[in-house]
Structure 1
């Protein structure tokens, strides 16, 4: 039996109770809520032959970027495919199964293609739009994120239950493509429709970070506490954004307090939580702050991830922990694994090859004080770093390390070019990092302060 979910899309479920739980899955996923597994579990307990539910389980596993979820995702795919042989599915459901198959075979771009076919037929499908948005984010396709969302905006009018969440996705894609004013307006509008849209709230926080409006960003996060505090571990990422804004104001004691009390309140090894923590500690160290033994617990967790190889973005943040805690053997193992993966064919190994290997070599060299070599490698990786995924704000830790390596190595002209590129990306707004590094550059060149 086919029913219609809150995205106005067909779904092969037989009972109203299962449909309510499926709608719960959609809402929890869009809001980054804590109950997505609970709702999906209830759907599958009630309707074990729901093929799209099995595909969803597999796709949600892959979104976590962890090696141990690959086997369950394969099992979910096998179950979905076997059920598809026994029943008539909608093209939407078939598309999710094909997307899972492509992604498991190392073809995330092809997975996106299957989801976009669904959106061409059902542009009101916010769930599929969020999936396309999420996979594109993981492979650094910011312009694709924006095109995808803008193709389906008209189908998300004021009567659409998920309009606010799509506006949040639009806000983030606008910010990542440099349209900061429109991103802020869109994100705030989205919150009027979906007050629990943590993603949209965080998109506006990105705008404040990129335009050096730290006080405004802190106020935004504090004034919209209900939008994100009840989220899953994504709330730690919002705390991370708040810490960045305090750091731009020079309030490093506040930053360390947030790190201990919130950002690492739960000592998880989720790569997103590790990336929050490692990138923040590295930023603090670049500013001369003693972070004590905080690297150690991150390195303990990251050592266990050396062989994961799911995402270059995740691997480079594991490496930040390993260099921060001086875990030499684990660093060597990660370097060797990068070399092995880079030699393989496919979409993701190509990212390991470039920019992954150069970036990894740069982090190793930086940690050992070989700043000229660090600069050469990080600068070589830099033009392709967006392809590792993440946001401008997240990748900025590598930009800062590149700039500091250049300053320490005496590569003043090349470093100035990168500083200016970074300033241009931020709409010409000087944050504390840009101000202090231009000052360092001028002192090194013996140019009087202005």
Structure 2
């Protein structure tokens, strides 16, 4: 057995496998573009390393699409085949990823908590715990899972970026900025810390400062995966949106968001959709950009990786005029609720599905229906995940529907 760069034991005798695992961990924590390559190199170096297989499965699950889920399965099977001889931590991690693959998110969360209680240097487990808390709307736990391991990772810049994001989501903005700047003091090129400060400055209305801050680091994001590259540029676009510099926003969309997106990536698709919608809510003509996105969304109709994402997909399909696809997706969302565990089902049934109906109604110009559907779910939208900056979009759609309904009532009254 050997140890990784975090000081954690891994069941392998291959130094090459350890080096590749260390590379994978670093790439995963910095949202680098070489995560997949690194972990496949680890498996090639030691095909019996269960943890490497589990890391590969986790990587594919984070891609949030059916093809990647299917790619995860052989790696999970390989991890299980070598299960008997591995350490307690590795067994727990394999079990956490199996639970995730089975959509038993509550079980996965509990295991990640156990791992981080016993093995506080395991920042991959912290990151994946935060991921699950983020998409189940538990911002307090998202923060706490990072807070408890800070004493064991005081010289690791990644933990400060994780803490900064958790603190920001819990509205502790001063503490969040302090943590983000600590991360950057340790590593000026930490893109997740840049991202945390983007959130903070946006929340505080520091628009000009936010543009200067983010654009100063933009060149360093070339090494990020498409998700964080496009998402950090999405934050820059939001600043220019506040300045009403809509041509600049469209240019960012065309050059740094959709052009640089992995067109098959759900996260990249969601970022593009949400920016187009924000522009349209401000009266900007986005041309044929809805039609350019929509062909890539067909495979999302029956996928239902995350309810937060489905609300974006169904809106974009409606805006592109694919009404048959929209109806198919709404029905599919209903059927999906029959096959998931109760921990997830209530948020789909009580929040996501009525919100999806409201989003479709707004896209179709039925503002009264949009208002009625969205009104009662707005207080619970955090349950389906997303950040404050992302979820505010649904509030904007609701308020837009209210304004249009009031205008229509006024027209009827004077006529």
* 2:336 counterpart residue number: 341
> How many Å apart are 1:396 and its aligned residue?
1.6
Contact 2:211 2:236 in 1 (8 A): yes
* 1:136 counterpart residue number: 133
> How many Å apart are 1:229 and its aligned residue?
3.1
Contact 1:195 1:226 in 2 (8 A): no
**What pairs with 1:311-322 in structure 2 (closer than 5 Å)?**
311-322=306-317
What do the CA deviations read for 1:339-390 (whole angstroms, capped 9, x no partner)?
1122344133332212111111101111222212111111222122112222
Contact 1:343 1:353 in 2 (8 A): no
Residue number among 91, 95, 116 corresponding to 2:92 in the alignment: 95
* 1:34 counterpart residue number: 33
* 2:200 counterpart residue number: 207
Are residue 15 (structure 1) and residue 11 (structure 2) matched? no
The runs of 5 or more residues in structure 1 that have no matched partner are 412-443, 446-450
> How many Å apart are 1:150 and its aligned residue?
0.6
The runs of 5 or more residues in structure 2 that have no matched partner are 411-415
**2: CA distance, partners of 1:157 / 1:227:** 24
Residue number among 356, 361, 365 corresponding to 1:365 in the alignment: 361
Are residue 107 (structure 1) and residue 104 (structure 2) matched? yes
* 1:390 counterpart residue number: 386
What do the CA deviations read for 1:135-189 (whole angstroms, capped 9, x no partner)?
222322211110101111111123xxxx111100100001111111111121111
Are residue 377 (structure 1) and residue 373 (structure 2) matched? yes
* 1:224 counterpart residue number: 217
**2: CA distance, partners of 1:142 / 1:227:** 28
Contact 2:160 2:183 in 1 (8 A): yes
Contact 2:53 2:76 in 1 (8 A): yes
* 2:119 counterpart residue number: 122
**1: CA distance, partners of 2:297 / 2:250:** 21
What do the CA deviations read for 1:110-152 (whole angstroms, capped 9, x no partner)?
1121111111111122222112122222322211110101111
Residue number among 241, 247, 255 corresponding to 1:247 in the alignment: 241
Contact 1:7 1:127 in 2 (8 A): no
Contact 2:164 2:175 in 1 (8 A): yes
> How many Å apart are 1:299 and its aligned residue?
1.1
Are residue 238 (structure 1) and residue 232 (structure 2) matched? yes
**1: CA distance, partners of 2:399 / 2:80:** 49
> How many Å apart are 1:196 and its aligned residue?
2.7
Contact 1:374 1:402 in 2 (8 A): yes
* 1:300 counterpart residue number: 295
> How many Å apart are 1:264 and its aligned residue?
0.8
**1: CA distance, partners of 2:350 / 2:191:** 32
Contact 2:290 2:320 in 1 (8 A): yes
Give me the TM-score of the superposition, normalised by structure 1: 0.87
The worse-fitting range, judged by mean Cα deviation, of 43-52 and 340-349 is 340-349
- Note the aligned Cα RMSD (angstroms): 1.7
* 1:435 counterpart residue number: none
* 2:327 counterpart residue number: 332
* 1:399 counterpart residue number: 395
The worse-fitting range, judged by mean Cα deviation, of 318-327 and 250-259 is 318-327
**2: CA distance, partners of 1:229 / 1:398:** 31
Q: Secondary structure, in 3 states, of the residue corresponding to 2:244?
A: coil
Are residue 3 (structure 1) and residue 2 (structure 2) matched? yes
**1: CA distance, partners of 2:93 / 2:134:** 18
Are residue 150 (structure 1) and residue 147 (structure 2) matched? yes
Contact 1:40 1:53 in 2 (8 A): yes
What do the CA deviations read for 1:248-278 (whole angstroms, capped 9, x no partner)?
0111010000001110113512111111111
State the number of aligned residues. 406
Q: Secondary structure, in 3 states, of the residue corresponding to 1:258?
A: helix
**2: CA distance, partners of 1:330 / 1:91:** 46
Residue number among 146, 168, 175 corresponding to 1:175 in the alignment: 168
What do the CA deviations read for 1:65-109 (whole angstroms, capped 9, x no partner)?
112222222222221111113xx2111110111001211222112
* 2:413 counterpart residue number: none
Give me the TM-score of the superposition, normalised by structure 2: 0.94
**2: CA distance, partners of 1:282 / 1:225:** 24
